[in-house]
Amino acid sequence: MSIKSLLIALLLFVGSHAWAARQVTALDDGWRFLRADVAGASAVDFADSAWAVVRLPHTWNGIDGEAGGAYYRGPGWYRRELQLPAAALASRHFLQFDGAALRAEVWINGQLAGRHDGGYAAFRIDITRWLRTGRNQLAVRVDNATAPHVAPLGGDFTVFGGLYRGVKLVAVPAAHFDLLDDGGPGVYVSATDVNAERAQLTLRARVRNDGDATRRLALNLSLRDAAGRAVAQGQQAVPAAPGATVVAEQPWTLPKPHLWQGPTDPHVYTLTAELRDGAEVLDTLALPVGIRSVQIDSQRGLLLNGRPHAVHGVNLFHSGRPGRGLAVGDAEIDEDFRILKELGATGLRFVHFQHPQRAYDNADRAGLLVWTEIPLNSAMDEGEEFRANLAQQMRELVKQNQHHPSVFIWGVGNEVYRSDDAVVKLLAGMSRLAHDLDPTRATSYAHCCAADDHAMARQTDVIGFNRYYGWYDGQFGDIGPWADRVHAGQPDRAMALAEYGAGASVQHQQDPPDRPKPGGPWHPEQYQALFHEAYWPQIAARPWLWGSFVWVGFDLASAGRNEGDRPGINDKGLASYDRQARKEAFFYYQAQWSDKPMLHIANRRATPRAAGRADVKVYTNAKSATLNVNGTDLPARAVQGGIATWPGVVLQPGRNRLQARGDNGAADHIHWIGTP
């Protein structure tokens, strides 16, 4: 049985009666769209034939959101028809939006069915009462303008508007798993007291009876390992009165669990939940479940299943592509994770908001630990509406993702640029809420721009710091001594490096590089490589850091920036926005993190270059490497810290062929053009 998340694909069981069991229909085609606010666009007979025809996922900022400067932030309208046979009206129908940025209003047949504020979590709206046989008109108004009560209020990224993820129609019988629990699956599992001998599991199902009679239902739960073998199961009677939501709970003890062990053995079980009325299956779904324990210690770092586990990786912004913004599909998300696997990452920070379920599923299967967070970013509002919206987004984040074994941190925010009591209170409240929803995971905050021991940095279980010594200020060598000072001053505080990085353009080559201006037009690729060559040894020498995350995995759209080789892009990625170019720093980290034999000759794009003498640098996870230049073998070099260097190599005018090989079997070759 394949492992699928509820929000990506639900296990469809076709019962003996038409429309008896859950049915999920993708509504990605057939939309009409207009980027404007139009009076009366929710009406059934509104004339939309002149509107553009679009397919989801869709954003209206695919061009202007990546060009730099101002971009459209306002309303847009989507319309399409739903055709339903008469038999369908016996079911309950819900629209599931996987992402609508930032606010959405949904109309069915001219009636307002529901609203949602928040652009990055899935949500569902019950549309049953407004449906009719035959043609039904769906209209959705989406608005990505800043609203003072909706997070985020700031951030160094483009807010792409639109229905940038999919939309589905979910049909279920009157009795079903709760579909209105903050977008969650309605079935939840938590694990405590986990070790190699046993794991204590608590399974909880929210059963909803929207019928007009009391039902005596049966809840069947089963857990299967990755090979499809049943390892545990439970049954329970669930009486449900009309209009009631019943919470059914089952405690399980699982002997000898196959633990989720990170990249070496990311074992994922499948939990199947089935709701029956006698012999009739009413509803069923499947969730990926991993069993593991995570402890974070201020002296030992992170422990996965009781053993030290180095968490190193990148900040992963929502998958995006040029001309499409965040409106990408499964193929692009999967490509990102293939690149991250190639890199050798063991952890990710999903920034700065909830990501699509496909990303969490990929992290589960790859064994990557994930810090995921709500979009409290840069700015806040002190009003109760903002706090309530932030709490809503925390509930959605936790309920939609707590079954994922990859998730180990609930993030409450990122570098809020104020330091008064109001922000401290808000951070503390979000941390408490996360604990109330899920006491099995730690909370964290990404701290910046105030004292390291400020109260903002002490409202969560653990803390991460955003530091850019050698880029915005200071020197490369400052990061280690700074970390030592913080650790010595707060020895009981488990800390991570939540962000660190430098910009780079593959079009900018300078060897050796001058220090660039962060906001300037020149970002040589070599400077970014030197930045990370200096940072990583300092990080690796401090195992009490429970995690480190490069800013950022891939270049991303940030309309407010005008730097590097083009406006509108934050170029601190280890790979380019289109994913076609891996920067030199990518290969440096691959040499540090990957177990797969690799070797890469650095500075390959720094050509033409002056003939004469040049230093040749190789990144590799071999122990030693050899170099051949124009047919001449040079002495082997020992690899130190993932780097082998041949200083003063003679280059001739014209074409020079360089070939390097490691004792691990990996090899690479490049051509440099020497100019007189």
Residue 320 lies in a domain: yes
Contact 84, 138 (CB under 8 A): no
Pairwise CA distance, residues 358 & 355, whole Å: 8
485 and 503 inside one domain:
yes
Q: What is the dihedral of CA 257, 259, 265, 268, to 10 degrees?
A: 80
Contact 365, 106 (CB under 8 A): no
Residue 643 lies in a domain: yes
The candidate with the shortest Cα–Cα distance to 412, out of 384, 369, 441, is 441
306 and 241 inside one domain:
no
Model pLDDT, residue 611: 86
Q: How many of the other CB atoms lie within 10 Å of CB of 280?
A: 14
CATH of the domain at 506: 3.20.20.80
Model pLDDT, residue 21: 87
192 and 51 inside one domain:
no
Residue 471 lies in a domain: yes
Model pLDDT, residue 296: 99
Lookup: tokens for 292 = 């593991």
Residue 17 lies in a domain: no
The candidate with the shortest Cα–Cα distance to 235, out of 248, 244, 254, is 248
Share of the chain above pLDDT 70, in %: 97
Residues of the chain falling short of pLDDT 70: 1-20
114 and 195 inside one domain:
no
390-410 confidence digits (pLDDT tens)? 999 999 999 999 999 999 999
Q: 289, 319, 345 — which closes off a domain? A: 289
Start-to-end CA distance of the chain, whole Å, equals: 64
Model pLDDT, residue 11: 28
Model pLDDT, residue 20: 56
Pairwise CA distance, residues 389 & 394, whole Å: 9
Residue 2 lies in a domain: no
399 and 495 inside one domain:
yes
554 and 586 inside one domain:
yes
Q: 243, 264, 289 — which closes off a domain? A: 289
- Residue 116 burial (C-beta neighbours within 10 Å; 0-12, 13-18, 19+): buried
8-60 confidence digits (pLDDT tens)? 222 222 222 344 589 999 999 999 999 999 999 999 999 999 999 999 999 99
Pairwise CA distance, residues 288 & 214, whole Å: 32
Pairwise CA distance, residues 516 & 509, whole Å: 12
159 and 192 inside one domain:
no
Contact 417, 429 (CB under 8 A): no
249 and 305 inside one domain:
no
Question: Rounded to whole angstroms, what are the CA distances from 156 to 59, 68, 152, 162?
Answer: 19, 12, 11, 19
428 and 549 inside one domain:
yes
Model pLDDT, residue 17: 34
Residue 284 lies in a domain: yes
The candidate with the shortest Cα–Cα distance to 168, out of 3, 354, 23, is 23
Q: What are phi and psi of 557, to 5 degrees?
A: -75, 125
Contact 451, 463 (CB under 8 A): no
Residue 18 lies in a domain: no
Residue 12 lies in a domain: no
225 and 143 inside one domain:
no
The candidate with the shortest Cα–Cα distance to 160, out of 29, 72, 282, 259, is 72
CATH of the domain at 621: 2.60.40.10
CATH of the domain at 168: 2.60.120.260
Pairing verdict, β 632-638 and 624-629: antiparallel
Whether the link from the prior residue into 433 is cis, omega within 30° of 0, is no
Q: 289, 306, 334 — which closes off a domain? A: 289
Which domain does 562 fall in, by range?
Answer: 294-594
562 and 670 inside one domain:
no
Number of domains making up the chain: 4
Q: Left (φ > 0), alpha (ψ -120 to 50) or beta: where does 296 sit?
A: beta
SS3 state of residue 598: coil
DSSP string, 542-567: -TT---EEES-SB-EEEEEEEETTEE
Lookup: tokens for 124 = 């569902």
Q: Left (φ > 0), alpha (ψ -120 to 50) or beta: where does 301 sit?
A: left
Amino acid at 664: N
Radius of gyration of the chain (CA): 27
Enter the DSSP assignment of 319: P
272 and 416 inside one domain:
no
DSSP string, 2-60: ----TTT-------SSTT-S-EEEE--SSEEEESS--TTTTSTT---TTSEEE-SS--S
Q: Which residues of 175-208 are buried (b: 16+ CB within 10 A; e: fewer)?
A: bbbbbbbbbbbbbbbbbeebeeeebebebebbbb
Contact 262, 347 (CB under 8 A): no
Q: What are phi and psi of 531, to 5 degrees?
A: -55, -50
Q: How many of the other CB atoms lie within 10 Å of CB of 578?
A: 12
